[in-house]
Amino acid sequence: MSASVLLLACPDRPGIVAAVSGVIAAHGANVLDAQQHSDEVDGRFYQRIAFLPPSGAPSTAISDDLARLAPAFDLDWSIRPLGMRPRVVILASRPPHALADLLVRARTHDLDIDVVAVMSDRPDHAPLVEALGIAYEHHPIADRAAQERTLAAALRARAPDLVVLARYMRVLPGWLVAQWAGRMINIHHSFLPAFIGAEPYRQAHDRGVKIIGATAHYVTEALDAGPIIEQDVVAVTHRDSPQSLARRGRDLETIVLARAVRAHIEHRVLISGPRTIVFT
């Protein structure tokens, strides 16, 4: 039997850990990893428990007991399986680096995902994607509203568990984003919340920054403002042009996006309003 992950959030108070671990122990499950965080600012408690149910004891029994326990602690909880390769659709525009990196990581099982399709507003990446035996869908933008409806229908037809925007250079409408809330990740080429929107490397150059960064976040209707999953930075100097900043930033973008996707598929992320709790 494969392992499962329990993610929970609730108001912080004594007795939560004992009660929840007691439910898991009562069913003879083996705890593989447990992490928790008490936030003193918002008074919330967060926990991730990876556990292996005993043979013959499905996690549905644990779920039933947690459902009975939930009202006493106002638990917001879910149990998710580990070891199942999620179906992923990647959206990409002309920049190839983030897409290519994800495809290689999927092919080598560095990321244990099943890329079921790549969708793009451009035809550029078809040879690369199709050479790997992955479907490539070109959705050109002649009429933007029509293209957005077509893209939305294509995503529904593929029914992915996760949508990844690997430098998809189009702003998606709020109604489409809402359909994938908590299941759509974007890589933005700046250290958000600095330099949102277009040409962040040029913005960074014009401000004379001493570091540049990359940010992976869940997509929301507000541009580049979704809950942040992963970030990293690299030092730069006044000698860097916008072009050299972009070149240096590309490596950072691929690493940050891969980390974010891995955290999501391993169920290490809890969304709490505008931010996340990411268990390492």
Please list the active-site residues.
Answer: 224
If residue 219 lies in a helix (H) or strand (E), which one and from where to where?
A: none
d(CA 186, CA 98): 11
Residue 5: strand, helix, or coil: strand
Phi (first) and psi of residue 229, to 5 degrees: -100, -45
Long-range residue pairs from 133-141, CB within 8 A, at least 24 positions apart, any chain: 134/103, 141/170
The residue type of 183 is R
The rounded distance, in Å, linking the Cα atoms of 36 and 135 is 40
- Strand 30-39 and strand 275-278: the pairing is unpaired
DSSP state of 165: E
To the nearest 10°, report the CA torsion of 30, 33, 37, 38.
20
